[in-house]
């Protein structure tokens, strides 16, 4: 038979082990929830009235691309008071032009 002190120490050790296991489990659940929240935050779309998108933590000017059925496309990128127009024809010809307005004109 074990002594009273041995039985008490055994119960205390089991309780400590249980408390540690619950603490580790709680930390794991909170961490998993935090990672899921972070992943969902990275998939959010930039609001439509902003002039840029966030990609890899960087601001990237938002483009306005129109693709036609024949495969040609036209894209406009606005940066400040300048507009860059990129066009690709059905035949594969690529053209890029940049137009800037003087400051102060609307």
| Helix, strand or coil, per DSSP, at residue 104 | coil
Displacement of CA 26 from its chain's centroid (Å)? 26
| Residue 70, pLDDT score | 93
Ramachandran quadrant class, 50 (left: phi over 0; alpha: psi -120 to 50; beta: rest): beta
66 and 76 in contact (C-beta within 8 Å)? no
Structural domain spans, the chain? 1-44, 52-100
The whole-angstrom separation of Cα 21 and Cα 57 is 37
Joined together, the tokens standing for residue 1 give 């038979």
H or E segment to which residue 38 belongs? helix 4-42
Full pLDDT tens readout for the chain, 106 residues = 567 666 666 666 677 777 787 788 787 777 776 766 666 655 566 777 777 888 888 888 778 889 999 999 999 988 888 889 999 999 999 999 999 988 765 5
* Buried b or exposed e, range 32-45, using 16+ CB within 10 angstroms: eeeeeeeeeeeeee
């Amino acid at each position: 038979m074990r002594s009273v002190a041995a039985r008490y120490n055994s119960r205390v050790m089991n309780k400590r082990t249980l408390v540690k296991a619950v603490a580790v489990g709680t930390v794991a659940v909170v961490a998993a929830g935090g990672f899921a929240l972070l992943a969902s935050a990275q998939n959010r779309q930039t609001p439509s009235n902003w002039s840029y998108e966030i990609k890899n933590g960087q601001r990237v000017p938002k483009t306005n691309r129109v693709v036609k059925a024949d495969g040609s496309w036209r894209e406009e990128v606005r940066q400040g008071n300048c507009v860059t127009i990129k066009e690709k024809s059905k035949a594969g010809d690529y053209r890029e032009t940049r137009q800037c307005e003087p400051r102060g004109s609307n």
